[in-house]
Amino acid sequence: MKKILCTSLVLLLMLSGVTAVFAEEAADQPTTAIAAADTGSAENGTTPSAVTVVPDMNFTGTPVKLSLEDAYKKMLADSPGAKMADLNRQSADGVAKGYGESVQKINKARDALSNPSIPDDVKSGIVYDSVSKDMAKLSRDYATTQGSKNYESEINALKTDTFEKYYTLKEMETQKKIAADYLALSEKLLSNTQLKYKLGTVSKNDVLKAEISVNEAKDNLLASSDGLNALKMGFNQFMGYDLMQTVTLSDEIKEVPLSTTTLASAIKSALANRNEISGAKYLFELAKLNLEQYAAYPRSSSKYIAAQMECLQYETGYKNAPLNVERDVRTKYMEMNQKYSAVQTGKKTVENAKESERLAQLQYDSGLSTLADVQGAQVEYYKAQLAYSKALLEYNLAVDAYNLSSGVGIEPARI
What domains are defined for the chain? 7-47+64-405 (1.20.1600.10)
pLDDT tens digits, residue range 213-243?
Answer: 999 999 999 999 999 999 999 999 999 999 9
pLDDT tens digits, residue range 300-329?
Answer: 999 999 999 999 999 999 999 999 999 999
Per-residue pLDDT at 23: 37
pLDDT tens digits, residue range 18-43?
Answer: 333 333 444 444 444 444 444 444 44
365 or 180, greater pLDDT? 180
Confidence of residue 203 (pLDDT cuts 50, 70, 90): very high
Mean pLDDT of all residues in the chain? 89
Q: Which of 162, 8, 170 is nearest to 88 (CA)?
A: 8
Q: Report how far apart, in Å, the C-alpha atoms of 12 and of each of 46, 138, 372 are.
A: 41, 10, 73
Query: How far is residue 169's CA from residue 175's CA, in Å, rounded to a whole number?
Result: 10
- Min mean pLDDT across 25-29, 160-164, 326-330, 356-360 is at 25-29
At residue 408, the 3 state secondary structure works out as coil
Above 80 in pLDDT, residue 10?
Answer: no
For 77, other C-beta atoms within 10 Å of its C-beta total 10
Per-residue pLDDT at 29: 42
With pLDDT > 90 as the criterion, what percentage of the chain qualifies?
A: 79
